[in-house]
């Protein structure tokens, strides 16, 4: 079992190198919809107003593969500012349709929290619908979008279908053999993805136009919209080296991108040690609601503080194993996050699976390599 865990940790490190392109392990595919153009709609988005003139578009099943990032719509007196550009043109066109139903104002600005595909691959729709729209990001995000890797990933998915499917079915067989409680639900979710959604998504990606940002900000940019301040800030590396947050002080809201996600944390960051410090700086800001990169709105700072504690706990535990001379296999087998798993996802077998696959295995592995490198 320990060897298997270590092998999966190595795979997690490989997947981490692909995350800038939006690649993740397969996820929860339980909900169904009859929305056209597909009987099982991979781009289903719901919208919620959370404050006067502020709306959030979100995936009802936030872990559903291929994941779609939350989109925040900020309606101002003379324009609309959008945070994050969706993960496909279909998704962004649905957001734009919703905006048109709310206001006659045009979108002047799209702000990007980071460069992962599920937050940026729908940008082309904004450029088409709103000529002259400005797209603002950290330079790290611009470099990822202006390079060729993102378009190669999107347009090349069809060529990788069979290898992706083979890997997925191998994972399904592993889950069947382990036969943990509730494994049937996990198998059903993954089987559904590999049987349908992978093909549907590859067709959408085949013609995507990757759209780079037009303005880059390394530190801070403040937009003034009447009585509203839109504070775009780099607090430090998080899920990516160029994570940006958007603080709306008058509205008591902070938009974090994938620095915080719900219901299962992400653990693939290659700047994992800095992430904990960045969360500490985020906690110093004044706000009472968090719009995470995925999932439900969080009230207060409880969830943020739980994540801060989780990061520090794992760093402390892994550091102790490195000092004792333990290898990654031993460390993975020994670091106990069962209490934290209970806190975040309870006893849901599907969420527990993804807590392990999305967070604990890759995160512990990344912390191990980062701390061991620092100690060398």
Q: Provide the pLDDT confidence category of residue 375 given band limits of 50, 70 and 90.
A: low
pLDDT in tens, 256-289: 999 999 999 999 999 999 999 999 999 999 999 9
pLDDT in tens, 147-167: 877 877 777 777 777 788 888
CATH 3.60.15.10 applies to domain 2-151+209-375: yes
Instruction: Indicate the domain borders of the chain.
Output: 2-151+209-375, 152-205
Distance of alpha carbon 340 from the chain centroid: 20
Question: Residue 147 has what pLDDT?
Answer: 86
């Amino acid at each position: 079992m320990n060897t298997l865990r270590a092998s999966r940790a190595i795979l997690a490190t490989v997947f981490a190198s692909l995350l800038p392109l939006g690649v993740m392990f397969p996820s929860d595919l339980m909900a169904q919809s009859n929305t056209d153009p597909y009987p099982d709609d991979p781009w289903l988005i719901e919208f919620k107003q959370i404050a006067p003139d502020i709306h959030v578009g979100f995936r009802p099943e936030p872990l559903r593969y291929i994941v779609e990032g939350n989109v925040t719509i900020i309606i101002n007196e003379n324009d609309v500012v959008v945070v994050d550009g969706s993960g496909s043109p279909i998704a962004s066109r649905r957001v734009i349709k919703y905006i048109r139903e709310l206001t006659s104002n045009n979108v002047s600005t799209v702000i990007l929290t980071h460069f992962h595909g599920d937050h940026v691959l729908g940008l082309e729709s904004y450029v088409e619908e709103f000529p002259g729209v400005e797209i603002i990001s950290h330079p790290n995000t611009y470099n990822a979008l202006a390079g060729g890797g993102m378009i190669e990933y999107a347009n090349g998915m069809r060529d990788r279908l069979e290898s992706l499917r083979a890997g997925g079915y191998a994972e399904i067989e592993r889950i069947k053999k382990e036969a943990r409680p509730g494994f049937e639900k996990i198998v059903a979710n993954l089987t559904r993805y590999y049987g349908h959604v992978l093909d549907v998504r590859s067709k959408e990606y085949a013609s995507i136009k990757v759209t780079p940002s037009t303005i880059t900000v390394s530190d801070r940019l403040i937009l003034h919209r009447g009585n509203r301040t839109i504070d775009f800030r780099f607090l430090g590396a998080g899920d990516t080296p160029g994570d940006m947050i958007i603080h709306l002080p008058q509205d008591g809201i902070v938009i974090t991108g994938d620095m915080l996600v719900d219901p299962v944390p992400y653990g693939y960051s290659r700047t994992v040690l800095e992430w904990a410090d960045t969360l500490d700086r985020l906690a110093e800001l004044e706000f009472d609601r968090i719009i995470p990169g995925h999932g439900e709105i969080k009230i207060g700072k409880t969830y943020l503080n739980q994540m801060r504690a989780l990061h520090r706990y794992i760093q402390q535990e892994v550091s102790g194993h490195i000092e004792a001379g333990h290898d990654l296999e031993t460390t993975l087998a020994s670091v106990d996050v069962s209490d934290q798993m209970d806190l975040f996802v309870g006893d849901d077998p599907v969420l527990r699976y993804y807590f392990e696959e999305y967070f604990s295995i890759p995160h512990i592995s990344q912390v191990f390599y980062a701390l061991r490198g620092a100690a060398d």
